[in-house]
Structure 1
Amino acid sequence: MEPSVIAVCISENKGEQKKPVDSILLKENHGIVGDAHAGDWDRQVSLLAEESIDTMRAKGLRLGSGDFAENIVTRGIALTALPIGSRLTLGAALLEITRIGKECHNRCAIYYQAGDCVMPREGVFARVLKGGLVRPGDPIHLQDGGRESAN
């Protein structure tokens, strides 16, 4: 199975769930145009594997894309196994992984429902090296020394 984008999501405000959209436009050194988390920092874009969301669904939660405030939902790539500095192409865009996981200062609604939340451990953050349009169904390729290789 070729790694791919399952969903793309945005929100206008920080601290809220993101809503799935048909496509997102990534801007170099900025993030997603129209998303609250865009800016000049190391967490311009957040990614979460559909497999991680499935783990939470197995606990009985009804979850959709964006419910963990993730921008991009992926399938078929072990995001948390990628070293910091890894580069991924998604659609026309190029991202560089800057962080795996994050500190949650407040427990989210999902944590209170399930007693757990995967985003602090399994969410991956990136900065945009090359902008472009990204849509569900776009393939994901891991860059290897400047050469693309499907991983």
Structure 2
Amino acid sequence: MTGKVIAINISEKKGVPKRTIEEGVFEVDHGLVGDAHAGNWHRQVSLLGNESIEKMKAIGIEGLCTGKFAENLTTEGIELWKLPVGTKLEIGETLQEVTQIGKECHTKCAIFHQVGNCVMPTEGIFTKVLKPGKIKKNDLIKVIEE
């Protein structure tokens, strides 16, 4: 199963939409260098499929784009939320492991306040970086172990 990266997104503060960058550097025990959510924990990198963003657009939510849900990687071609925890993903130069599917939103992000709903809690996934490297737009995502 393969997909691709359609955007790399970063923010210096938590709880805000991220801006898109051309290329990201991902470090072991950290995540995306320069991102507010990075650190030595199990949710180093967040991923959300463009398919999930399209679901929100289909119910009439306007102005959605990559990074709006505070995801580090916007992907295409893989139903991320169906991958079991422990799945290994080769993304660009990196190797990452799925550590969590979805999340509980305690403080409701900017998107929730703007539109009254968010797909990140149910369809976003989180990974930790096992092998460092760079990721850029259009890099392949390979599911190498489920």
Measured in 2, the distance between the counterparts of 1:83 and 1:2 equals 15
Q: Does 1:107 align with 2:108?
A: yes
| Displacement after TM superposition at 1:2 (Å) | 4.7
| Displacement after TM superposition at 1:138 (Å) | 0.3
State the one-letter code of the partner of 1:58: A
Q: How does 1:1-150 map to 2 (within 5 A)?
A: 2-60=2-60, 61-144=62-145
Measured in 1, the distance between the counterparts of 2:2 and 2:87 equals 18
Structure 1 runs (4+) deviating above 2 angstroms are 106-115
Q: Provide structure 1 residue ranges, at least 5 long, that are not aligned to the other structure.
A: 146-151
Task: Provide Cα deviations, 1:89-148, integer angstroms capped at 9, x if missing partner.
Answer: 111001100000111012334334433210011110000000100011001101138xxx
State the one-letter code of the partner of 1:30: H
Q: Provide structure 2 residue ranges, at least 5 long, that are not aligned to the other structure.
A: none
State the one-letter code of the partner of 2:35: D
For the residue of structure 2 that corresponds to 1:110, the secondary structure is helix
| Displacement after TM superposition at 1:27 (Å) | 0.5
Measured in 2, the distance between the counterparts of 1:4 and 1:76 equals 7
Measured in 1, the distance between the counterparts of 2:43 and 2:75 equals 17
TM-score (norm 2): 0.94
Measured in 2, the distance between the counterparts of 1:12 and 1:49 equals 22
TM-score (norm 1): 0.91
For the residue of structure 1 that corresponds to 2:55, the secondary structure is helix
Equivalences, count:
145
Measured in 2, the distance between the counterparts of 1:24 and 1:54 equals 24
Measured in 1, the distance between the counterparts of 2:139 and 2:17 equals 23
Q: Is the 8 A contact 2:16 2:110 kept in 1?
A: no
The residue aligned with 1:149 is: none
The residue aligned with 1:148 is: none
Q: Is the 8 A contact 1:59 1:114 kept in 2?
A: no
